Amino acid sequence: METNIKYDHLIIYYFSGTGNAKNTSIWIETIAKENGLTTLLINLDHKKYIETPTVIGKTLIGFCAPTHGFNLPPIVLNAIWKFPKLKNTDVFIINTRGGLKLSKLFLPGLSGLAQILPALILLAKRFRIVGMQPIDLPSNWIFLHPGLKPKVIDSIYQRCHPIINNFTLDILEGKRKYKALLSLPIDILTTPIAILYLFIGRFFLAKTLVATDNCNSCGKCVKQCPVGAITMLDHIPFWSYECESCMRCVNICPERAIETTQGYNFVFFVLAFTIIPPSLFYLMSTIGFSNWISSSVLTENLWELITMPIYLALAIISYKILHFGMRFHFINRMIRYTSLSSNKFWRRYHPPKY
């Protein structure tokens, strides 16, 4: 039978917190193999730079990663930024988003810059973009909601698999597919949030996980963290600001000891917002800046520029104190009572394994 397949070799670079992007890459690889391509899947865990890939015959390169804060995770953006220039090589980008299901209705996630930004970087490197596909696999964001029920996960997966198979076949046959551009106007609107998340928000989020006294110091979270952000300090896991909040540790912990700290975060922000701005205002007016702080738009923005690093520094310090406090039974109980994730109904996210 004559095939219209345009490529000999496929390389996919993927990053996956909880398995969705990995599963998507495996689906694509399977179709590619069935169509006679040689394939290579490269996991971006811990990768700070990318070696120049061996290009065999006509090669297709893919990037596949989850959407984090309306963008790709920084580790993936960094890999694309540092990716060797392979002029006129065909590439595709897939971002897995947080899909949900309400009764029979499948709800999509939102890409934000997760397609546009890598596409612009790759275009600047003179790659030829042949496909841009978002895919709405189940949301894994345990901080915001409980993991979806196995039945719901299954039905979302069943919906997504054929979409990826069709996308792959079309791309392999040389067709161009730019599904991601359909939501471009909405995606562009999210730019300020995506930028805030990339430069500020993710550092706060990195400080929202703790291990309770259920933790037996097995070290699985340390070994499995894709960016090496977790270390054992006095036998208790500690999350550094390099954490990508990918949710892998929360979901794989065999003791269910890792909790999201909503209650603690609420108290932190209420205290920080009620104490820092008035004290800073008072301090600046005592040293003669009271006129300068008057409310022009410029100074309001400057005000935020000054206060944001203070909040961040405070979050980092208070997280250290919290980490120390977790060795005391009373603090442990407080964290558990005020963490949504410690409720029994707050399921962890377990996607199917391929």
Ligand X SMILES: Cc1cc2nc3c(=O)[nH]c(=O)nc-3n(C[C@H](O)[C@H](O)[C@H](O)COP(=O)(O)O)c2cc1C
Q: Is 18 in the site for ligand X (CB under 6 A)?
A: yes
Helix axes of 329-338 and 262-286: crossing angle, nearest 10 degrees: 100
Query: For ligand X, which stretch binds (CB under 6 A), given 124-132, 169-177, 244-252, 290-298?
Result: 244-252
**Count of chain residues binding ligand X (CB under 6 A):** 24
Q: Is 139 in the site for ligand X (CB under 6 A)?
A: yes
The CB density around residue 111, as the number of other CB atoms within 10 Å, is 23
Q: How far apart are CA 150 and CA 179, in angstroms?
A: 28
Query: For ligand X, which stretch binds (CB under 6 A), given 51-59, 66-74, 115-123, 171-179?
Result: 66-74
Q: Is 147 in the site for ligand X (CB under 6 A)?
A: no
Q: How far apart are CA 111 and CA 113, in angstroms?
A: 6
State which residue, 110 or 326, has the beta carbon closest to ligand X: 110
Query: For ligand X, which stretch binds (CB under 6 A), given 60-68, 252-260, 271-279, 303-311?
Result: 60-68
Q: Is 70 in the site for ligand X (CB under 6 A)?
A: yes
Q: Is 148 in the site for ligand X (CB under 6 A)?
A: no
Residues in region 161-220 near ligand X by CB under 6 A: none
Q: Is 141 in the site for ligand X (CB under 6 A)?
A: yes
CB of 244 to ligand X, least distance (A): 7
Q: Is 20 in the site for ligand X (CB under 6 A)?
A: yes
Cα–Cα distances in angstroms (integers) from residue 192 to residues 75, 184, 217, in the given order: 20, 15, 39
Q: Is 245 in the site for ligand X (CB under 6 A)?
A: yes
CB of 351 to ligand X, least distance (A): 6
The binding site for ligand X (CB under 6 A) comprises 16-21, 66-70, 96-98, 109-110, 112, 137, 139-141, 245-247
